Chain A
Amino acid sequence: MSHSPLRLLLEFDARSQRDRDQPPAFLHRRDRKFALTCEQQGRTPGVALWLEHMAYLNGPGTAPGEARRTLQLWRRINLGFAALGALLGVLTMLSLLFFEGGQRINLSLIIAFVGLHLLLALATSVQALIGWQPWRWLVRRLTPRAERGVTRRLRPLLMARAAHLGASAFALTGLVTLLLLVVVQDLAFGWSTTLTTGASTYHQLLLALATPWAWLWPAAVPDLALVEATRFFRTGTGRGDLAPELWGQWWPFVTMLWTTWVLVPRLLLTLLTQWLLRYQAGRLLASHPGWHALLYRMETPTLDTGSEHNDADDLPDTATQAAVAPLPDTDLLLCWAGAGEPELPGGLTGTGQRIFRAGGRASLADDRAVLTEVAEQLAQTPQPAVLVITRSWEPPTGELLDFLAEACQRWPESVTIALVPLSLDGQSELEPHQLRQWLRFAERLNSDRVRVSALPLAWRDPYAASGVGP
């Protein structure tokens, strides 16, 4: 895979966009795993490696389509500009060097054209640097869908690169055309201007233009004699008319002028734009929010709190058909697991009561003894009934279930066992959810003899319902 920053940026951006729909926990696991694997292999995880990893996992042919499309589009734009530039280069040079024998090719025109070209090169570079996009309309027509984020930010530079490439092709084909024309035609160069400029001033200008190559190719630097000899005037009677053998000596200067001031600057600007593009792409990649998020995911350990188990909907059925039954009239009270301690509520106290204690701190042997004792008491009662006092807030457990099952076996069949859950203070009404758990428990016993009864409250706050103070 190419490691060009532009390609990396576009592919990374496309992958980041695709990851947006993934759950963060999954992304974290995936990227943390990648970072840990890199660490094991002694490699430093980076964008290129990560993209390679993603591509490897996804199999061949799964490079992000959008990145590929964007790169292809710009490749086409670059080729189009280059082809157009090449064609224009040939045509322009043919026009500049048009020579039909009766007139000379004016050097001033060529120099002016070179100057204009330099100006255009400068304008292209400046527009790219300040973000002005004169070619936007063209790109909009060429782009099938709206460019997003990073591509849009790189567009001035991409357009400048295309323009410089086109201009380089223009300069190159122009140069080739010039050399071909020099070979196949006898070109007559001269110089002329309407301005009152002397030959020495013009020579000074040419020397300044020729400075870059003067040391390399002295023959391409015109001397004053040549300048004086090749000037022509509109009247056609100048001294230049006298030296037609000199007219052809200008071609090395023209060649070097074109090479140095048209071709080389464009090539340099193309390289500079290419470098800027790489630099900018690298910078955008480094500040890409997706890259920061990826780095975070790679650096931070994945923390799994074991929360994947879900049984929230698996709640017990709290519906019950059982209802609270009236409290039976009996003197036999059985306090289960410490209920009624330290003292029973007023509604349960009275003379002649027999109170038994079972469950809780009592041993199972004690429970069995109580069962026997109560059975004896019940045998002497015509309408046998027992109140089993419990704590409403302590849920009924298997031990009470066993105890009641044994009681049902050992006590007379006609016995009524009333479970009487007490509230925390023994006086107030039971919490509905606490009462429900006792009703459900009685229902689960599936016995006609066991039911739930509520204590008649000895005292009820008369102001509780109305909300009016005493």
Chain B
Amino acid sequence: MTDAPMFAVVGHPNKGKSSVVATLSQNDAIAIALEPGTTRQRQAYPLSVDGQTLYTLVDTPGFQRPRRVLEWLQAHSLSASDHPETVRAFVTQHRDDGRFTDECELLTPLIEGAGIIYVVDGSVPYSAEHEAEMTILRWTGRPSLALINSIGPDDYSDTWQAALGQFFQVVRKFDAVRAPFEQHLSLLRAFGQLEPDWEQPLSQATEHLANQRQKRQGQSASLIADALADMMAYREKRTLTLDQVAATSDTDLAEQLRQRWYQHQRRREQALRINIEHLYQHQRIRRQEAELEWHNEHDLFSEDSRQTWAVSRGYLATAGFGAGAVGGAGLDALTLGHSLGAGALVGGLIGAAGSYLYGDQLMLPALNIGALKNGLKTATFGPVQDSQFGYVVLGRAVDHWWHISQRNHAGRDLLDLEPADHHWLERLDRRSRQAIQQAFDRCRKRRPLDDRLRQKFIAAIEQGMAAYDDWRLNRT
């Protein structure tokens, strides 16, 4: 078997080489800064499947003295045929020369057989200053591709495209921070076109990456389902002696338990967010809403969150009807159909009425003090009384998932989960709405979800994620 292809990402300093590598290798721990010299030595990022490397990206420092290198090369070459050998001789001779450290670092993978990915910034004008660099790269004789990565808001990519076309086999535009995932795959396929031998491993790699992404969506739905089931069913419990009961008023006790209940729910939501971020290999995301406070508009229990993510009474009534009808249908089945669907109808109506009445307010749990037992009393707070809380959590979770799944690993800005302006769940199909409502109803009654219901719930959340994605795409 042939060696896995290697690609050296090279170019002028500070043009986004590391950003390209960070996005393609899904690594948000690569140093990226708007300062030249952030990358000081080459670093390899292999993509491997079951331990077998399919390709390797090599991040390199930028050119520092290209004209001096070119002068040296020209002085030591007789004809075009000796160009690659001359480049190799240059690296051999200058390995310990401090002035050419960066050049040696970036040329080494090329003389070892790497393909060239030359990165330029398309948001600044073309500069002939780069021609020496491009000439040196051409001297290496390696297959080459140029990427126009736009760091700023302006666009000079047309002039760059014309200039780069004279030096490189393929020229592509690729915004390392904003490019959607499909473009990552398309870019990897373009790498495969540089050499016939590279096509197969690159096509394999893109296939694996696409599968991985698809499965991550399912895994995210499963994580969200688990968190929702936990949060809907959660009950804060405290055992008190008679003295403690006498010393604390019910209001104070309810307040203490409510605060602890809030705290637990916030922590659980944070844990879900971290799990989803880690699933997508985002280990270092800074979130705008890291500090959650009661008055904070991003808080789980804030009025903003309720208004943004809670569903309408109409929605709740239809979902409640569906979920109630499912229960009522069981009655019809028991009567072998002799009830002529009355069970489903009555169940549906009860579900719809219940959901409608609770529809426009967030009913939080109530304090419940149990009977005296062995000299102790148990006070409980929770679980949540209505399904709106579930929809708020679900909306926030799906919104967060969407931002994470769309975020490239080169992005280093704060993750700001801005509120949406329209309720996306309206796009969800009827069966998924019912499955979600049914799961919420069961969880808040602290009845466990069996495997079948859990699978239905996960599938419905996945549908919800697709609906949200579709809504986001069509919103702008």
Contact = CB atoms under 8 A, between A and B. Distances in A.
Interface of A: 23-24, 32, 36, 287, 289, 296, 300-307, 309-316, 318, 337-338, 359-361, 363-364, 391, 393-399, 402, 424, 433, 436-437, 440
Contacts of B451: 287, 289
Contacts of A433: 34-35
A399 B69 CA distance: 10
B127 A394 contact: yes
A399 B127 contact: no
A421 to B, nearest CB: 13
Nearest to B99: A398
Interface stretch (B20-28, B349-357, B466-474): B20-28
B63 A301 contact: no
Interface in B113-159: 121, 124-125, 127-129, 131, 154
A301 B49 contact: yes
Contacts of B30: 309, 311-312
Contacts of A296: 215
B284 A312 contact: yes
A23 B62 CA distance: 36
A185 to B, nearest CB: 53
Interface in B209-223: 209, 211-212, 215
A399 B68 CA distance: 8
A15 B191 CA distance: 43
Contacts of B13: 395, 397
Contacts of A300: 211, 215
A338 B128 contact: yes
B31 A306 contact: no
Given A311-B30, A394-B12, A433-B35, A306 B129 contact: no
Interface string B23-54: 00111111101111110000111111111000
Contact of A303 (B37, B99, B209): B209
A359 B12 CA distance: 14
B127 A397 contact: no
B260 interface: no
Nearest to A433: B34
A287 B192 CA distance: 42
B29 A316 contact: no
Given A296-B215, A301-B49, A361-B129, 10 more contacts: A289-B454, A307-B26, A307-B29, A309-B45, A316-B33, A337-B127, A393-B121, A394-B12, A396-B36, A437-B35
Contacts of A399: 64-68
B29 A312 contact: yes
Contacts of B211: 300
A314 B43 CA distance: 14
A304 B409 CA distance: 15
A24 to B, nearest CB: 7
A234 to B, nearest CB: 50
B27 A424 contact: no
Contact of A36 (B33, B47, B50, B57): B50
Contacts of A391: 127
A110 to B, nearest CB: 41
A294 B29 CA distance: 29
B271 to A, nearest CB: 13
Contacts of A310: 29
Q: Which 3 A-B pairs have the closest CB atoms?
A: A398-B64, A395-B36, A307-B27
Contacts of B64: 397-399
B128 A306 contact: no
A269 B281 CA distance: 54
A287 B49 CA distance: 28
Q: Which of A296, A302, A304 has the most chain B CB atoms closer than 10 A to its own CB?
A: A304
A364 B71 contact: yes
A306 B25 contact: yes
B50 A302 contact: yes
A302 B54 CA distance: 12
Contacts of B51: 302, 304
B282 to A, nearest CB: 10
B129 A360 contact: yes
Nearest to B452: A287
B281 A305 contact: yes
A306 B127 contact: no
Contacts of B385: none
A436 B12 CA distance: 18
B415 interface: no
Contacts of A394: 12, 124, 127, 129
15 contacts: A301-B208, A303-B47, A304-B48, A305-B26, A306-B48, A312-B31, A361-B128, A393-B124, A398-B102, A399-B65, A402-B65, A402-B68, A437-B14, A437-B36, A440-B35
A302 B26 CA distance: 15
B135 to A, nearest CB: 11
B185 interface: no
A141 B209 CA distance: 53
B209 A309 contact: no
A303 to B, nearest CB: 5
A224 B453 CA distance: 62
B312 interface: no
B279 interface: yes
Given A305-B26, A397-B13, A361 B131 contact: yes
B56 interface: yes
Contacts of B125: 424
Contacts of A289: 451, 454
B455 to A, nearest CB: 9
Interface in B44-88: 44-51, 56-57, 62-68, 71
Contacts of B27: 305-307, 309
A304 B211 CA distance: 13
A371 to B, nearest CB: 15
Interface string B279-313: 10100100000000000000000000000000000
B150 to A, nearest CB: 13
A464 to B, nearest CB: 17
A303 B43 contact: no
Q: Which of B50, B51, B128, B279 has the most chain A CB atoms closer than 10 A to its own CB?
A: B50
A136 B152 CA distance: 69
Contact of B35 (A304, A305, A318, A398): A318
Nearest to B54: A303
B171 to A, nearest CB: 20
A376 to B, nearest CB: 24
Q: Which of A24, A301, A304, A306 has the most chain B CB atoms closer than 10 A to its own CB?
A: A306
A306 B68 contact: no
A309 B13 CA distance: 21
A424 B27 CA distance: 32
Interface in B408-436: 409
Contacts of A36: 50
Q: Which of A359, A364, A398, A440 has the most chain B CB atoms closer than 10 A to its own CB?
A: A398
A311 B279 CA distance: 20
A395 B12 CA distance: 9
B33 A397 contact: no
B67 A306 contact: no
A302 B46 CA distance: 13
B100 to A, nearest CB: 9
Contacts of A361: 128-129, 131
B237 to A, nearest CB: 14
A303 B49 contact: yes
Nearest to B127: A338
Contact of B281 (A307, A309, A316, A440): A307
B297 to A, nearest CB: 25
A363 B129 CA distance: 11
B35 A316 contact: yes
B127 A311 contact: no
A310 B31 CA distance: 8
A307 B45 contact: yes
Given A305-B47, A399-B67, A337 B129 contact: yes
Contact of B33 (A23, A32, A315): A315
A66 B115 CA distance: 55
B412 to A, nearest CB: 9
B417 to A, nearest CB: 22
